[in-house]
Structure 1
Amino acid sequence: MSHPADVHTRPTDLLLRRTRVRAAWGLTAVLLLAAGLTRATAGGPDSGLPAPYAGAPAARAALDPARLVRVPAQAWSDTGRVDFTAWPARGPRTGDRALLTRALGTWAAPTSQTAVAVAPGVSAEPPGHPPQLLFAGDPGPGTLVVVFLDADRIVRYTERGGRRSLDIARTDDANVTTAAAVTLTRDAGTARRLLAPWIATAGVRDLTAPAGAARPLPIGSDGTVTTDLPHGAAGQREGDAATRGAGSEGCGPRPVLEVASSPRIVEKHAFLLADLGGLLPVHLTYTPPAEGADVPPARQPREATGPAALARWAQEACTLGEVDGRAVRAVNLWDFAVTELPESTGRAVWSCTRATHWDGRGDVRIRLRPPTGASLAVAHAESTAACGRFGQHVLAATLWRAPSGRGYQLAAGSREVAEITATGSLHSRTAGRTLTAQAPPAPAPPPALTATLRSGAVITALDARGGGRD
């Protein structure tokens, strides 16, 4: 009999039995998997599935067309969640089992001949459960398209000319505007789009011609519309695997979709969607300047369909070519300050254009638009909160040259700025939201600009490296 203080160097019989049981189960699993793969390659019930899914019931269900999630046609009007999850399955091929099987199988295991385009920050992993079917049809000659929703991803499968392609985009926190359309095809300067079921009317307008009326577009019985593509590289730069390579240089007319929601969702709600090269069009909004009081009230982004918004977007329309539409869900043009230019040359508008990504990050570009001529690039920053809901305090500065040839240092801040100070090569301080001073002679370095908010906090100017911060 062993003593209680003895050290046992062998596992107990119980541990040995557990080890043997685990080994047996492991061997059984290997044999079952091998049997499943053998059936798949031998033309059994799993023969149409990629090998990693064969013999795995839970994973196999994700590739079964019969298990696809299909939402009732009127679900969108009876839910408080108006996004892609409320889309019904539409298109003439929603019952085409062979097409749906090919689409799911290609998504699960794309071959080397499959063109795959994945938007920044989104996973290309195959589905782990049955996805939702949004569309299956032939929206163009010789083209078959299937669109799925998988949690926070939209997946588009395309067959064209004997080739297959996949496009995957993010849909985090999509809503009534950012879930309003999906691009199905792009061909010869036009795009075919599937609209959300809550879109009642659609039209197309040229963003560079604000005085023109929107041209009504017929919405097909399957919820699709055809629109022109922008004449620049932006609209055809495409993260789109099916049409990668199209595009041209320059900025001409920029057609955008103007759509209106059904009164069953919200009354008199029209908004703009721009094709910036991604699977999903980008929602355009506008924030007018806050003026008319010592501390003007904050202004919120509004739909870019009114006269003032259209006039301003017409002036900045060509700058949309700088936006990567594969990653961006919305672009807001915020006119945060107005300044009187020196030498009685008129008023200039300071604007911050924020492109908000699907993951919440934002890229901003600040410009100064004089009374005549093009906007002047002032600063840009990436992955910043500036000019958004959580970055409402902004200071920007630039060197501006008057028609006389004299140089001036200009600066402007958002509504809470109480004082602006320049140090370094220029020493100047002014109360209020704008600063104008004669620039130091060249080759003096640019001065350092700071602003004091009414709360006493100090912010720095947003510069070309995105250095502005609280």
Structure 2
Amino acid sequence: MQSQDVAPRPAPGSSADRTVHVEQAEAALVEHYPRLVRLAYLVLPAGPGRGRRVLTAHALVQRALPRGRASTPVIPAQHGGSSARGRRAGAGDGPGGDAGYAYVRLQVVRAALEAGLPLRSRARRGLLPPPLPQVWGLRLSPRPGGADELALEQRLAALSGPGRAACVLRGLEQLSDADVREVLTGSGVKGAGVTAALREAAGVSAAQYALLDSPEFDACSLQARPTDLMRRRQHTRAALAAAAALAVCGALVALPGGGWGPDGAAAPVYAQNPAAEAALDPGRLVKISPAAWKTSARTDFSVWPARGPLTGDTALLRRALAVWARPGGNVRVSATPGTPSGGPAGPPQLLYAGEVDNARVVLLHDGLRIARYAEPKDGTAGAALDFARVDGATGAEAGALVLGRADGNVRYLTAPWVTKAGERDLSKPGAGSMDLTLTDGITSPLASPATQTGTCTTWNVLQLTDALGTHLLSDLGELVPARLTEGRPAAPREASGAQALRTWAPFACSLADARAQGVRTVNAWGYTRQPLPDGSGTAAWACTRADTWSGDGSRVLAQFHTPGGLFGTAVAKAGDVPACGPRDPHVLAGVLWKSKGGAWYLLAAGDRATTSVRAKGGVTGSGQGNLLALPTRQGRQAELEGRLRDGRTITGLR
């Protein structure tokens, strides 16, 4: 974690009548910059995306200094409020009783709250507009955390702006409710709004407060990825062509163009491009015949027919294509990792157009990606555009797409070759499946685990049946559900069989670790079983591997399940490693285990190709075969090393 400074207890004294010089505020900002940026990042709304929040958080903190060199009150005078002597110390003080820190913190909270308001409602016109700031050529975001951090992120996103601020001031700044109330009031939140914010913050648990210091929310420790390189190259060429057009016939560029109706939430057109205009013509959309899949050798999205009652709504299709090509500033755009978000190179294929719950939805396919456009039934404000990568998808991987989510449920559009759909609880292998109705390929709603928070007790998946068998797909919060398989990495099987369901059951909730990662498939491999040293039964070892559509960012979990337990425990994880995969179908992991009698052991297990296991470090010992059990003490750490039949050495997952 980059930022380690924790706000000490404030110095006693009144804060309302103190003044802060710009030098004092600047010193506090520089000293506590990572902390202030984390605070701004957590208070900002999640809608614009993590990269936009990172840049906006840095911008707000850097603009928090007083504008002049004159002294500035720590907290603005409150009309009708209590006297200076009546204020509690704390809200106006920061680390070490530093009033400069308190002033800067107040400005950051105020600016972050105003940044969440519509532009026309912001009191300070000096705030940056939504598209700014920008980092050209790079996409910056904090490092991803685990399921607990994701749950907290979703919990904060559900709160109002003042509610998030109250939660962060409580958990990160360790302020009392009275101090939080004073900071919120000084940030412009009205009395009733402050009370409501405190009530919202009270719904966040103490355990979640502790996660506010997680690296997931450190907006100063970032990972950088390139933006869409192809789109940038296209934009560069388009910019040069536009400059030439402006120089030759500037007057003509400003003329309003014809078309097929208004573009809704799309950005304005600044240059005409014949190829791009062809891709935006709803009359050129590819519409596959409903019977094409029956005679085709392909089982992918290219043979899906166009379905839905609005496939003939030219105005809706025009808006969807225009927003895809140039989304406006108020359009919520999301893309799975590794998915380019540029416009289509040519007329895409129409998969669906219709009304889903309270929205009009259009699904499009350009051979590489699925694009989902959604707008409210009563207008285009609040339109959303989502992308998912699907190159190479076939069979079960092209079996379903998410049409919409509402009230914790998800509704799918299934492939035309799907004959039956059902809902199954992956954690209860003997419970059977519940049939779902299929209407023109659309399922009835089923409970989605993608947004569940708190303790995981169930994990519902989609079960599809076609001519080739039965397949399980899991909603991981993206357009394309992940395919679930079971067995040895070199030859995985569908996870719908009885043995596969028993293998998956203890580890179903571990799928939460793969949410929003662009996951294509998840395989569970029960690689060995181990008798427990106290004679209480046999534990199961499993390895789950999530592979992505982009080919990188794989996630491997080694999991341990003791007899009598409902769910397994993840004891080791790794990213971007070949272990437990088709290229390297081997795994070794260990865990500190406490017996019923109170004795501690180091248990380690490799797959059946492992001929010996050795531990070194805090616990030492070795054994023949793929299993190892050594007595130890609580808290000891060890490094594991195994040898395979072919003589190769492998190390334990950490």
- Name the TM-score, length of structure 2 as normaliser: 0.59
| 2:556 pairs with one of 337, 342, 364 | 364
Q: Is the 8 A contact 1:204 1:227 kept in 2?
A: no
2:450 matched to which residue of 1? 235
Task: Give 1:382's aligned amino acid.
Answer: G
Residue correspondence of structure 1 range 65-464 to structure 2 within 5 A = 65-140=282-357, 142-160=358-376, 161-162=378-379, 163-221=382-440, 223-230=441-448, 234-236=449-451, 248-261=453-466, 263=467, 266=468, 269-287=469-487, 300-361=491-552, 362-373=554-565, 374-439=567-632, 441=633, 445-463=636-654
Shift in Å at residue 421 of structure 1?
1.8
After superposing on structure 2, the runs of 4+ consecutive aligned residues of structure 1 that deviate more than 3 Å are: 25-36, 43-54, 424-427
Matched with 1:466 is: none
Find the aligned partners of 2:248 and 2:442 in 1 and give their Cα distance.
46
Secondary structure at the counterpart of residue 235 of structure 1: coil
Query: Residues 326 and 393 from structure 1, CA distance in 2 versus in 1: closer, same or farther, beyond 3 angstroms?
Result: closer
Residue-by-residue CA offset, 1:39-85 (whole Å, 9 max, x unaligned) = 3x2x5358856654753211110100111122222222333331111
Cα gap change, 1:395 to 1:36, in 2 (>3 Å)? farther
Structure (1/2) with the larger helix percentage: 2
Paired with 2:399 and 2:463, the residues of 1 have a C-alpha distance of: 11
Contact 2:490 2:585 survives alignment (8 Å)? no
**For the residues of structure 1 that align with 2:284 and 2:624, how far apart are their CA atoms?**
66
What is the CA deviation profile of residues 252-285 of structure 1, one whole-angstrom value per residue up to 9, with x for unaligned ones? 4332211111x3xx3xx10111122111112111
* Aligned-partner SS, 1:309: helix
Quickly say closer, same or farther: Cα 1:27–1:397, change in 2 above 3 A: closer
Residue type at the aligned position of 2:483:
H
Q: Does the CA contact (< 8 Å) of 1:169 and 1:326 recur in 2?
A: no
Count residues with an aligned counterpart: 406
Q: 2:410, 2:446 within 8 Å by CA — same for their partners in 1?
A: yes
**Structure 1 residue 287 displacement after superposition:** 1.6
Q: Describe the shift of the 1:229–1:367 C-alpha distance in structure 2 as closer, same or farther (beyond 3 A).
A: same
Specify the code of the residue in structure 2 equivalent to 1:407: W
Q: How far apart in 2 are the matches of 1:200 and 1:325?
A: 29
Q: CA RMSD in A?
A: 2.4
> What displacement does 1:423 show?
2.8
Please give the secondary structure, in 1, of the residue aligned with 2:534.
Answer: helix
Sequence identity of aligned pairs in percent?
39
SS at match of 1:199: coil
Whole-Å Cα distance in 2 between the matches of residues 431 and 416 of structure 1? 12
CA contact (8 A) 1:419 1:433 kept: yes
Structure 1 residue 44 corresponds to structure 2 residue 258 = yes
* Cα 1:47–1:36 shift into 2, 3 Å: farther
More strand per residue: 1
Gaps of at least 5 residues in structure 2 are 1-240
**Which residue is equivalent to 1:21?**
none
1-structure distance, mates of 2:260, 2:296: 38
In the alignment, the residues of structure 1 paired with residue 403 and residue 641 of structure 2 have an alpha-carbon distance, to the nearest angstrom, of 48
Determine the C-alpha separation between the residues in 2 that align with 1:200 and 1:47.
39
Render the CA deviation track for 1:139-186: whole Å, top value 9, x for unaligned. Answer: 22x321001112311100001153311111111321111111111111
Task: Note closer, same or farther for the CA distance 1:415–1:132 as it changes in structure 2 (3 Å cut).
Answer: same
The whole-number CA distance in structure 2 between the counterparts of 1:27 and 1:411 is 65
Q: Which amino acid aligns with 2:337?
A: P
What is the CA–CA distance in structure 2 between the aligned matches of 1:258 and 1:26, rounded to whole Å?
A: 50
Q: Is residue 242–residue 271 contact of structure 2 (8 Å, CA) maintained in 1?
A: no
Counterpart of 2:563, as a letter, is P
